Amino acid sequence: MSVSVRIPTPLRKVTNGEDKANADGNTVSAIIASLDSQFPGIKSRLCDDNGELRSFVNIYVNGEDIRFMEGVGSGVNSGDEISIVPAVAGGR
Protein backbone atom coordinates (compact mmCIF):
# COMPACT_ATOMS: atom_id res chain seq x y z
CA MET A 1 0.00 0.00 0.00
CA SER A 2 1.17 3.49 -0.76
CA VAL A 3 1.46 6.47 1.55
CA SER A 4 2.67 10.00 1.09
CA VAL A 5 5.72 11.13 3.07
CA ARG A 6 6.63 14.76 3.68
CA ILE A 7 10.38 15.33 3.37
CA PRO A 8 11.93 18.15 5.45
CA THR A 9 14.59 20.50 4.08
CA PRO A 10 17.63 18.75 5.65
CA LEU A 11 16.79 15.55 3.72
CA ARG A 12 16.08 17.10 0.34
CA LYS A 13 19.65 16.73 -0.88
CA VAL A 14 19.04 12.98 -0.65
CA THR A 15 15.66 13.17 -2.39
CA ASN A 16 16.98 15.33 -5.25
CA GLY A 17 15.05 18.31 -3.96
CA GLU A 18 11.68 16.53 -3.68
CA ASP A 19 9.54 17.67 -0.74
CA LYS A 20 7.17 14.69 -0.99
CA ALA A 21 7.70 11.04 -1.74
CA ASN A 22 5.50 7.97 -2.02
CA ALA A 23 6.47 4.85 -0.14
CA ASP A 24 5.11 1.36 0.43
CA GLY A 25 4.78 -0.63 3.62
CA ASN A 26 2.47 -1.34 6.52
CA THR A 27 4.75 -0.14 9.31
CA VAL A 28 6.87 2.98 9.73
CA SER A 29 10.06 0.93 9.51
CA ALA A 30 8.87 -0.64 6.24
CA ILE A 31 8.14 2.86 4.93
CA ILE A 32 11.66 3.95 5.86
CA ALA A 33 13.09 0.91 4.05
CA SER A 34 10.99 1.74 1.00
CA LEU A 35 12.28 5.32 1.05
CA ASP A 36 15.85 4.04 1.35
CA SER A 37 15.46 1.89 -1.75
CA GLN A 38 14.37 4.96 -3.71
CA PHE A 39 16.84 7.36 -2.07
CA PRO A 40 19.85 5.41 -0.83
CA GLY A 41 21.25 6.74 2.44
CA ILE A 42 18.04 8.21 3.81
CA LYS A 43 17.65 5.46 6.42
CA SER A 44 21.04 6.10 8.01
CA ARG A 45 20.08 9.74 8.50
CA LEU A 46 16.81 8.84 10.23
CA CYS A 47 17.85 5.80 12.25
CA ASP A 48 20.82 4.80 14.39
CA ASP A 49 22.80 1.58 13.95
CA ASN A 50 20.16 -0.40 15.85
CA GLY A 51 17.39 0.77 13.54
CA GLU A 52 15.89 3.01 16.21
CA LEU A 53 14.80 6.53 15.34
CA ARG A 54 17.53 9.09 16.06
CA SER A 55 16.91 11.40 19.02
CA PHE A 56 16.36 14.48 16.92
CA VAL A 57 13.96 13.00 14.36
CA ASN A 58 10.23 13.12 14.88
CA ILE A 59 7.91 11.09 12.66
CA TYR A 60 4.18 11.68 12.65
CA VAL A 61 1.44 9.48 11.17
CA ASN A 62 -1.59 11.66 10.45
CA GLY A 63 -0.24 14.22 12.90
CA GLU A 64 0.36 11.69 15.71
CA ASP A 65 3.91 11.34 17.08
CA ILE A 66 4.96 7.70 16.62
CA ARG A 67 6.67 7.80 20.03
CA PHE A 68 3.15 7.82 21.46
CA MET A 69 2.35 4.77 19.28
CA GLU A 70 4.66 1.81 18.75
CA GLY A 71 7.67 3.75 17.48
CA VAL A 72 9.01 2.57 14.14
CA GLY A 73 6.80 -0.52 14.53
CA SER A 74 3.66 1.65 14.34
CA GLY A 75 1.14 0.52 11.74
CA VAL A 76 0.45 2.49 8.58
CA ASN A 77 -2.62 2.32 6.36
CA SER A 78 -3.07 3.21 2.73
CA GLY A 79 -3.68 6.95 2.34
CA ASP A 80 -2.04 7.89 5.64
CA GLU A 81 0.07 11.02 5.70
CA ILE A 82 3.53 10.66 7.15
CA SER A 83 5.63 13.63 8.13
CA ILE A 84 9.31 13.68 9.04
CA VAL A 85 10.20 16.70 11.15
CA PRO A 86 13.49 17.75 12.74
CA ALA A 87 13.02 17.82 16.51
CA VAL A 88 15.19 20.85 17.11
CA ALA A 89 12.39 23.36 16.86
CA GLY A 90 10.78 24.64 20.02
CA GLY A 91 11.08 27.21 22.71
CA ARG A 92 7.83 28.60 23.88
Partner 1 sequence: MPHVKCLQCRECKSEYPIEPLNACEFCFGPLEVSYDYDSVAKAVSRKSIESGPNTMWRYHDFLPVEKDSAVDISTGFTPLIHAKNLGRQLGLDHLYIKNDSVNPTFSFKDRPVSVTTTKALEFEFEVLACVSTGNLMGSVAAHGAKAGMQTMVFYPADLEQGKIQGAAVYGPTMVAVEGTYDQANRFCSELADAHRWAFVNINMRPYYAEGSKTLGYEIAEQLGWKAPDHCVVPGASGELHTKIWKGLEEFEGAGLIDKAKTKMHLAQAEGCSPIVEAFESGNNQVKPVRPQTIAKSLAIGNPAAGPYSLEVLRETGGTGVFAYENSIIDGIRLLAETEGIFTETAGGVVISSLKRLVKQGKIKKDEVTVAFVTGNGLKTLEAMGDFVVPIETKPDLDTFQKKLSNQKD
| Residues of this chain that bind partner 1 (CB under 8 A) | 6, 8-11, 13, 19, 45-46, 54-58, 60, 63, 65, 67-68, 83, 85-92
Best CA proximity match to 73, nearest among 31, 17, 38: 31
DSSP state of 71: G
Closer to partner 1 at the Cβ: 79 or 86? 86
Closer to partner 1 at the Cβ: 26 or 48? 48
Q: How far is the CB of 28 from partner 1 (least distance, A)?
A: 16
Phi/psi class of residue 62: alpha, beta or left (left: φ > 0; alpha: ψ in -120 to 50)? Answer: left
